[in-house]
Amino acid sequence: MSTYPNLAKRHKVAYAGTYPPKECGIATFTMDLVNATDLSGWRSAVVAVDDARPDGPHPDSKVIDTLEKENRADYRRIARQLSRHGISLLCIQHEYGIFGGDHGEYVIDLARAATMPVVVTLHTVLPQPSEPQRRILKELEKHTSFFVVMAEKAIELLRDSYGIAPQKVRCIPHGAPNTPFNVEGAKAKFGLQDKRVISTFGLISPNKGIEDAIAAMPAVVEKEPRAVYLILGETHPVVKRKEGEWYREGLMRQVEELGLTDNVNFVDKYLTLQQLVDYLLATDVYVTPYYANPHQITSGTLAYAMATGKVIVSTPYLYAEELLADGRGFLYPFRDTNVLAEQIGRLLTDHDLFETTRRRAYEYGRSMTWQSVGLQYTKLFTETLDERWVNHRAAVDAVALPGLSDLLHEGHVWAPPPIAASIASLNRATDAPLTGTGTSGLS
């Protein structure tokens, strides 16, 4: 929170990104971040990025406009509209695929045309970007106060692969719900009270490697007959629209062929946050068997599992390597189902190892709760506005905008104490108060 009185309450941040009811990880992240920063005292609004404008009002009153993904003129129109809504800062949720143009290049127009400071949350940082991908982030850098990443490794990648200075980047973890360490009856809610529960959740698609986790289950069941693997979530809507259900149907055939119908269950629906939390609380071992992208730099599913104190077994993509370090979880080689089975079996039968690991995960996850993440974002937003005042506007306003001293004195306009003191000193020396209405875009 700001060290200056009531600063947060006067300012409003607009988030630009996908947003529910659209079903995707970034949409959920944006909604959760909005709620988290609201709790920290900031006001918020949303610009929802979508394929087309809705026929009627958006179901969420937070949404002040819809940005039509492939309509380039819409990006400049939205930027002009933000000031009319009293927006003090724009926070863009960036992933190459959610914006229009080549590799999502239209997002540059939004950042360039914005008249307020811009903070960009990067959901993808590639170690070997194509030239267009690198150019987009370098161009965004010109119009951005700070980038936010969710892993320390991403700061290094931005420096080495994009030429972006580390001082321009802040690491704030992916947020997750705050839950108790132990919840009585969590398994009974699903009739699993006598089971050892393994789970994977998220929108199902071929790059998730779920077939590898299923392939590991016969050896797990041999070691722990009570083991059951829950595959939580519906097929990704884009995959379903373009390719149908061939992947899920293939997984179901695999389960039958391996004789695992009593040990593998599919929960084929898009889970609400509460349903997801309930399933995680009932989980003993959480698995992310992803293999398609070893350079993946964030994972909401892994963050949720960590924050709820799950014992995690994962392939060694970048985010998992960082999150599961120091005994907070276990890594296994990509596509190695034998090692995966061995690790899960050991965790389900070694009580001391299981309890030690999940406590480490839970304790580390306290910094990842949405309450903590919301405070970290609002601190950065305040830092951004403070820096904007000091470096770009304060001196100009003090000299060129009359009457600022009176507004400062009456508390209508905020400026950093050193600037306010300088203005007061100048007025005493000249005996001629400066007057005007400039607020440097602050509302």
Q: Can you give the length of the chain in residues?
A: 443
Domain 7-171 and domain 188-368, same fold? Reply is yes
pLDDT of residue 410: 43
Positive/negative CA dihedral, 185, 191, 196, 199: negative
Instruction: Look at residues 298, 45, 293 and name the one whose alpha carbon lies nearest to residue 171.
Output: 298
**In the predicted structure, residue 9 carries a pLDDT above the cut 80:** no
Q: What percent of the chain is predicted at pLDDT more than 90? A: 76
Q: With a cut of 60, say whether residue 434 has pLDDT above it.
A: no
- Mean per-residue pLDDT of the chain: 88
Average pLDDT (315-339) is 97
**Domain extent listing, the chain:** 7-171, 188-368
**Where does 99-168 have alpha helices with state H?**
107-113, 131-142, 152-157
Strand-pair partners of 287: 313
Closest CA to 283 of 197, 178, 407, 194: 197
Secondary structure letter of residue 367 according to DSSP: G
More confident residue, 183 or 393: 183
- Is the pLDDT confidence value at 224 over 90? yes
Q: What is the structure's pLDDT at 23?
A: 84
Level-2 CATH architecture, domain 188-368: 3-Layer(aba) Sandwich (3.40)
How far is it, in rounded angstroms, from Cα 67 to Cα 108? 14
pLDDT of residue 399: 52
Helix/strand/coil for 246 = helix
Amino acid 420: pLDDT:
41
pLDDT of residue 391: 57
pLDDT at 440: 29
Indicate the SS3 state at residue 182: coil
Angle between helices 300-307 and 351-365 (to 10 degrees): 110
Half-sphere exposure for 426 (CA within 13 Å, toward CB): 19
pLDDT of residue 89: 98
394 neighbors 388 (Cβ within 8 angstroms): no
E strands present in 154-237 = 169-171, 196-201, 227-232
**Coil, helix or strand for 290?**
coil
Q: What is the pLDDT of residue 389?
A: 56
Q: CB-based contacts of 266: which residues, under 8 Å, 6+ apart?
A: 231, 248, 251, 252
> Residue 421 above 70 pLDDT?
no
Is the pLDDT at 7 greater than 60? The verdict is no
pLDDT score, position 257: 98
Number of helices (H) and strands (E), helices first, in the chain? 18, 13
Q: Mean of the pLDDT values across residues 7-13? A: 73
**Section 258-273 average pLDDT:** 94
Mean pLDDT confidence for 221-247: 94
Q: Are 32 and 106 in contact (CB under 8 A)?
A: no
pLDDT at residue 2 tops 80:
no
Per-residue pLDDT, 54 = 82
- Summarised one tens digit per residue, pLDDT across range 345-392 is 999 999 999 999 999 999 999 999 999 999 999 999 999 998 765 555
Helix axes 337-349, 351-365, angle to 10 degrees: 100
- pLDDT tens profile 36-57: 999 988 999 999 999 988 878 8
**Sheet harboring 43-50: ordered strands across?**
63-68, 43-50, 12-17, 89-94, 118-122, 146-149, 169-171
Handedness of CA 48, 54, 60, 63 (dihedral sign): positive
What is the predicted pLDDT for the residue at 36? 96
pLDDT at 411 over 50: no
**Beta bridge partners of residue 204, listed in sequence order:** 235
pLDDT in tens, 124-170: 999 999 999 999 999 999 999 999 999 999 999 999 999 999 999 99
CA 383 to chain CA mean position, Å: 20
Whether residue 78 contacts residue 65, with contact meaning beta carbons closer than 8 Å, is answered with yes
Looking at residue 418, its pLDDT comes to 41
> Which amino acid type is present at position 215?
A
CA separation for the pair 328, 313 (Å, rounded): 10
The torsion angles phi and psi of 403, rounded to 5 degrees, stand at 80, 5
The Cα–Cα gap between 37 and 372 comes to: 10
**What average pLDDT does this structure show over 192-220?**
95
Which residue, chain included where needed, has tokens 């006001």? 43
Least confident range from 51-60, 157-166, 249-258, 416-425: namely 416-425
At residue 386, the pLDDT reads 87
According to the model, what pLDDT value does residue 275 have? 94
The pLDDT > 70 percentage for the chain reads 85
- Judge contact between 111 and 92, C-beta under 8 A: yes
Query: Cα dihedral sign for 61, 65, 70, 75?
Result: negative
Distances, alpha carbon 374 to alpha carbons 34, 41, 174, 272, in Å = 8, 10, 10, 21
Please state, in angstroms and rounded to a whole number, the distance separating the CA atoms of residues 17 and 46.
8
Q: Does residue 422 register a pLDDT over 90? A: no
Strand partners, 232: 201, 267
CATH superfamily of 7-171: Glycogen Phosphorylase B; (3.40.50.2000)
Whole-number pLDDT of residue 343: 98
What are 145's two structure tokens?
Answer: 């106060």
- Distance in angstroms (rounded) separating the CA atoms of residues 227 and 229: 7
pLDDT at residue 98 tops 70: yes
Structure tokens at 386: 């403070």
pLDDT in tens, 160-199: 999 999 999 999 999 999 999 988 899 999 999 999 999 9
Say how far apart CA 379 and CA 273 lie, in whole Å: 26
Average pLDDT for residues 401-420, to the nearest whole number?
Answer: 45
